[in-house]
């Protein structure tokens, strides 16, 4: 269709990687339409972007997924469905493509051995919950961050309060904020794509600046979902 002729496809060579890396170091990320020309690459912008995001970007973690990571993926997938970029945003060093591939090749079979694919991926369920979020988050084993997780790598975490605070007493709050933030992000996205259908009388929660721009009650009404996850 609109694709220019003679644009190279297929695997990237070392030379192409080097050109792309140098170009982005010089001009920065973004403006992908300019990247191929600036880098001297005969590739389309999408290909350049994908290569950078999934392979060349610094701090990308490769190799085996750890137990903690798998556990987190399973739970996040249950909560978010096939929203790989959101899931990846919560697993430092892993890309959405990585997680998607890992899910498709390992976890989907484990979760649903009979199905070869999951045509009806779950959507976040935002209805009919009651609060007991903090208790769950502070008792679940998955809320212990692994040593190599670096929140700074995760731009979605920036400003979330999940930064370098070694104070043990505040860990619970950090963890809670971490998961609340997921709800906030899911909520913000979800609100755009499909409206919450049922809004009951819910939790009374203080409005904090984390949760601005979205209906807090709706988000925190998901707390039973957390409990459902825990009870698996």
Partner DNA sequence: AAGTGCTCCAACCGCTGTGCC
Partner DNA sequence: CGGCACAGCGGTTGGAGCACT
Q: Is 121 an interacting residue with respect to DNA (CB under 7 A)?
A: yes
Minimum CB distance to DNA smaller for 83 or for 180: 83
Q: Which H/E stretch holds residue 17?
A: helix 14-27
Give the separation between CA 6 and CA 121, rounded to whole angstroms: 37
**In contact, 150 and 216? CB cutoff 8 Å:** no
Dihedral sign (CA 10, 13, 16, 20): positive
Q: Is 51 an interacting residue with respect to DNA (CB under 7 A)?
A: yes
Minimum CB distance to DNA smaller for 2 or for 141: 2
Q: Is 190 an interacting residue with respect to DNA (CB under 7 A)?
A: no
Q: How far is the CB of 103 from DNA (least distance, A)?
A: 8
Question: Count of residues binding DNA (CB under 7 A)?
Answer: 39
> Which residues from 61-120 bind DNA, rule CB under 7 A?
62, 82-86, 96-98, 100-102, 104-106, 117
The three-class DSSP label of residue 149 is coil
Minimum CB distance to DNA smaller for 154 or for 175: 154
Dihedral sign (CA 109, 144, 137, 61): negative
Q: How far is CA 110 from the centre of its chain?
A: 21
Residues at the site binding DNA, with contacts judged by CB under 7 A? 1, 3, 8-12, 30-33, 43, 45-47, 49-51, 54-55, 62, 82-86, 96-98, 100-102, 104-106, 117, 121, 192-193
């Amino acid at each position: 269709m609109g694709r220019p002729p003679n644009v190279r496809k297929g695997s990237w060579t070392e030379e192409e990687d080097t050109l792309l890396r140098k170009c982005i170091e010089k001009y920065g990320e973004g403006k992908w339409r300019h990247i191929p020309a600036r880098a001297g690459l005969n590739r389309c912008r999408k290909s350049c972007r994908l290569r950078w995001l999934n392979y060349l970007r610094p701090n990308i973690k490769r190799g085996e997924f750890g137990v903690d990571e798998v556990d987190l993926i399973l739970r996040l997938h249950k909560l978010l469905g096939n929203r790989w970029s959101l899931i990846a945003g919560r697993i430092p060093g892993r890309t959405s493509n990585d997680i998607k591939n890992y899910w498709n090749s390992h976890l989907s079979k484990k979760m649903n051995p009979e199905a070869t694919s999951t045509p009806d991926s779950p959507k976040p369920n935002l209805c009919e919950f009651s609060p007991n979020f903090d208790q769950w988050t502070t008792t679940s084993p998955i809320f212990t961050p692994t040593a190599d997780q670096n929140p700074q790598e995760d731009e979605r975490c920036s400003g979330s309060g999940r930064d370098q605070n070694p104070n043990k007493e505040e860990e619970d709050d950090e963890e809670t904020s971490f998961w609340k933030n997921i709800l906030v992000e899911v909520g913000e996205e979800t609100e755009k794509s499909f409206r919450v259908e049922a809004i009951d009388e819910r939790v009374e929660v203080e409005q904090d600046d984390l949760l601005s721009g979205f209906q807090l009650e709706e988000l925190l009404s998901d707390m039973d979902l957390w409990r459902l996850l825990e009870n698996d």
